[in-house]
Structure formats: structure tokens, C-alpha cells
Amino acid sequence: MTPQGVIFDLDGTLVDSLPGIAASLNRALAGVGLPQHSLQAIRGFIGNGVAVLMSRAAPQGAAAPQLVALEEAFKVDYDLTWREGTVVYPGVAGLLAELQRRGVPLAVLSNKTHAFTTAMVSGLFPRVAFAAVLGQRSGIPHKPDPAGAVEIASLLGQPVQWLTMVGDSTMDIETAHRAGMRSVGVTWGYHNRDGLAAARPDALSDTPQELLGFLESQSSLSSPP
């Protein structure tokens, strides 16, 4: 039986990208004459894509041209600097290597812009052969809409009910529910444990090793001989 696939969120799940996002955003805000924000405030802005990030970071009532200018400034800066403020969470590389060794199909689904998503995944996980890597694309609704998750199921050639979505936000859990997939909330990211538990995931994991244990408990993922 083919091992059941796992779809990972990116920011807050595989990588801690908050410092890089915050630095680029604050430089972009300063560049267009808008006030900057603390790291903690920006932590609450992220997760719903770049357009929402800009609208949350800009003052209420900011004009559309100003938001466009802010987004462009952010994208230019982030493209040049994201590596300086992005690190893989401890234990994640080992988890991915072990899942790959067992033949588990792996994928990434992010609300980060598609170009940034693919660049980050290929740059930080060069030895992981992800079967699909999808970020936010024009005309495709982003999470919690299940379209991207269902598309990945098709790319992996697996029924949605075989797949597990792993993420640090209630949005990831909602996406899994709406797609008919299992879900695991990870607590090392940007969202609080109580909120994740209230979203009713199939499991909560405090460490990548604990996550591996949950995935092992699924019938088609057994320890290698």
C-alpha cells in the first residue's frame, strides 16, 4: 500500500520566517512613509497572504495606490533578504528526511506568494523531493479554501482522506476539515495551543518527533524494516 501523503504548511511549521518578514515589511513601510510595527504585532498579521499582510500593516483607510506601492516595495526587499531572517525549525529536517526514507509523499501548501514559496523550499530543503509545492497563485483561492489541498491530492494521486495536513494555524486545520483530510496542529509556530485545540485537529504535536509518532500511528505508515 502506498504510504499516505503529508501536506505541510511553510511559515510557522517548517520554517521560522517571522524575523525576515518583519524586517522586510518594516523597511517597506518606512520606504513609503508609513509607521513600522513590532515583531509581535507582525506575528499577528501573517498567514493570509501578502495582500492581507499589507492591509493589516498599513494604517486603517490607506489608499489603494499606497497599498500597491507597499506590496511592491516589500516583494523587492523580501526577494533579496529572506534568507537572512529564515531558519528551519529544530528537528524538522530530520523529520522530512525520515518520512522521505520511508517513501511518504510530501507536499507544501502555503499562503505565501508562490514564487517565494518555491524559492524558500528549494533553498532550505534541497535534499527533500517534495511531490508538490504550491504557494498563493493568481486566481486560485488560498487557505482555508480547500482548492489547493485538493489539487495536491490529485498531484499525489491519492484520495483526500488518505492525506494529513500539518500546520501551525487554525486556518490549516480548517483547510483540512473542508478538504476531508486529517489534520495535525503543531505548537512550535505562531499560534497558541488553546486556539489550535479549539479547531479540533486530529492531533496536536509539540515536537517534530511527536508528529512522526502520530504519522506512524496511521495504518499505512509503518516503521521501515
**Active-site residues: which are they?**
9
Q: How far apart are CA 204 and CA 202, in angstroms?
A: 7
Residues in the chain, overall count: 225
C-alpha dihedral sign at 199, 54, 16, 158 = positive
